[in-house]
Amino acid sequence: MSALDALRHGGQALMEEVSREYYLAQSGHQSTADLQPIYVRHADVVGPESLAVARDALAAATDDASRRSARMLLEWQVEAGSARLAAASEEREIAWESTALVRVTEGRVVPYQRAAIEIANSADRADRQALDAARATLVERDLAPLRQERLQTETAYVESLALGDGYIPTFERLSGLDLTALAADCRAFLRDTSAMWDDLLPRAARTVLGLAPGDLTRADALALFRARAYDRFFPAAQMDPSVRRQVGEMGIDADAAGRVRFDIGERDGKRARAFCAPVRVPEEVYLVLRPHGGQTDWSTLLHELGHALHFAYTRPEFPFEYRWVGDNSVTESYAMLFDHLLQNRGWLLRYTGLGRGDVAGYLHTAALEELHYLRRYSAKLLYEIELYGGAVPWSALPDRYVELLTGATTFRYRRADAFVDVDPRFYAARYLRAWQLGALLAESLVARFDVDWYRNPAAGPWIVEHLFQEGQRELADEVGRRVADRGLSFAPVIAAVERLLD
């Protein structure tokens, strides 16, 4: 076995163990994650020698295929090395999150893992503000220092490798993403959609929450976009069978012959944020959801199902790097392709309880939510560029976080969340590119299979063959050009939001 094949073999074994440990801990099956022993057992996979193998492979690559493979392996090596160094800190975080209690009043205590759910479901503004304030106090004292430590450890490690002139150039070289260009697109998007946002938000805030825009906080955002008024159209009992019915009509097995395992019930210790855990790709993939209620759960189930089916239908013969790593913008775009079905009038009328008299109002609400998240993630990317760029002191970052996120969304953010509301390694960029690619894929599917592609029995097999089976071998912009013959931009995203408002 060559050194490169040995790295692939060891990498898969490491990732399977780490992924299983994350699944068990974050789904509530166990209260802690023992990550450090895993990295000790696989020390030969994540260390200077393995890093050198990946670096040498990239330097020696003479064609596009070998260069792509080596770049992806080197990117994974850097990420795995960061994760190994942060394992102890992450273990403490997971243990803390599974046991931490938010003490709102002397008589009311809420598990930290349920705080976001309780805030979103609260119709009493004073109650959700008190709960969020207590949550923020707890986070600032206990969780934020742990997250800051992890981010600083990761940044220092990546910069120490001297693979680029600082963290951001290193990330761009390894990922193939141009953050400078994406940041410019985000600034333009925030500018171009500001009038639409300033028109839509005040009306919704007054109608749904009885609040003026200047009074809104992020806790109010959770309540506003929970859209409780539509709960009766999205009953919990119908969610799983309705989604399975639609996917089946499209010609895809939702269980992927048993490779996708659904974990969608309530469980103490399960994190509030849903996730997909590809424990073995493509053989064993978990879809994990903790119920919030209403359309939120339907959207989340569809999102995570897009991920799960992608991993479960990836070609098993692909090398490790094409099945496990790569541009996560791709898998996020497939997740968004599925969850955006809740913005499709025909889909809603066919698979939910919404009638023709209610669907227009619902789609208007969906447009506001979509625009909010796009503006939020645009601001997150701009903030994270400052976080990783090194020009802004760590002590000044919380104020910049509040300034940028509040400025983009109107909802007032808290300094306590400045390091907690960060998915490491510029994952915000993956989401933004996924929005762009997802919009292109939706347009392409309509062109190929008509407006009701989601129930066309030919569409599912095409999606499996041309999208899912390719894993993440390609970058998101490469998928867009191959499938839709177009590059990535916000233009189709904005057009999709405008159609919801028609």
Confidence class for position 20, pLDDT limits 50, 70, 90: very high
Containing domain of residue 394, as a range? 183-500
pLDDT of 192 > 90? The answer is yes
Q: Please report, in angstroms and rounded to a whole number, the separation of the first and last CA atoms in the chain.
A: 60
pLDDT at residue 1 is higher than 80: no
Which residues, other chains included, contact 273 with Cβ-Cβ below 8 Å and sequence gap of 6+? 116
Domain-located, residue 174: no
88 and 215 share one domain: no
Instruction: Answer with the one of 98, 121, 147 that is the final residue of a domain.
Output: 98
User: What is the reported pLDDT for 359?
Assistant: 97
Q: How far apart are CA 325 and CA 76, in angstroms?
A: 7
Task: Give the pTM.
Answer: 0.95
In the predicted model, is pLDDT for residue 349 greater than 80?
A: yes
Tell whether 125 is covered by a domain.
Answer: no
Percent of all residues in the chain with a pLDDT value above 90, rounded to a whole number: 99
Provide the β-strand partners of residue 284. 280
Whether the per-residue pLDDT at 110 is higher than 90: the answer is yes
Domain boundary among 98, 124, 150: 98
Q: Is the pLDDT of residue 323 over 80?
A: yes
Judge whether 476 and 502 are in contact, CB under 8 Å.
no
State the Cα angle at 273 between 268 and 275, rounded to 5°: 100
pLDDT in tens, 370-388: 999 999 999 999 999 999 9
* Tens digit of each residue's pLDDT (9 = 90 or more) over 242-294: 999 999 999 999 999 999 999 999 999 999 999 999 999 999 999 999 999 99
Q: Which two tokens stand for residue 37?
A: 């022993």
For 295, the token pair is: 């359309």
Token output for 250 = 């499209």
Mean per-residue pLDDT, 1-23: 96
502: pLDDT strictly greater than 90: no
pLDDT band at 107 (very low <50, low <70, confident <90, very high): confident
pLDDT single digits (tens) 332-348: 999 999 999 999 999 99
Residue 124 maps to a domain: no
Q: Is the pLDDT of residue 480 over 90?
A: yes
> At which of 98, 131, 147 does a domain end?
98
Q: How many separate domains does the chain show?
A: 2
Residue 317 has pLDDT above 90, yes or no: yes
Beta strands of 246-335 (E only): which ranges? Answer: 260-263, 275-280, 284-288
- Looking at every residue in the chain, the average pLDDT score rounds to 96
Query: How open is the CA angle 112-136-296, to the nearest 5 degrees?
Result: 55
Q: 281 CB contacts (<8 Å, ≥6 apart)?
A: 311, 314, 323, 324, 471
pLDDT band at 81 (very low <50, low <70, confident <90, very high): very high
Do 78 and 226 share a domain, yes or no?
A: no
User: Is residue 163 assigned to a domain?
Assistant: no
Question: Is residue 300 a contact partner of residue 404, using CB atoms and an 8 Å limit?
Answer: no
Same domain, 91 and 195: no
- pLDDT tens across 416-468, in order? 999 999 999 999 999 999 999 999 999 999 999 999 999 999 999 999 999 99
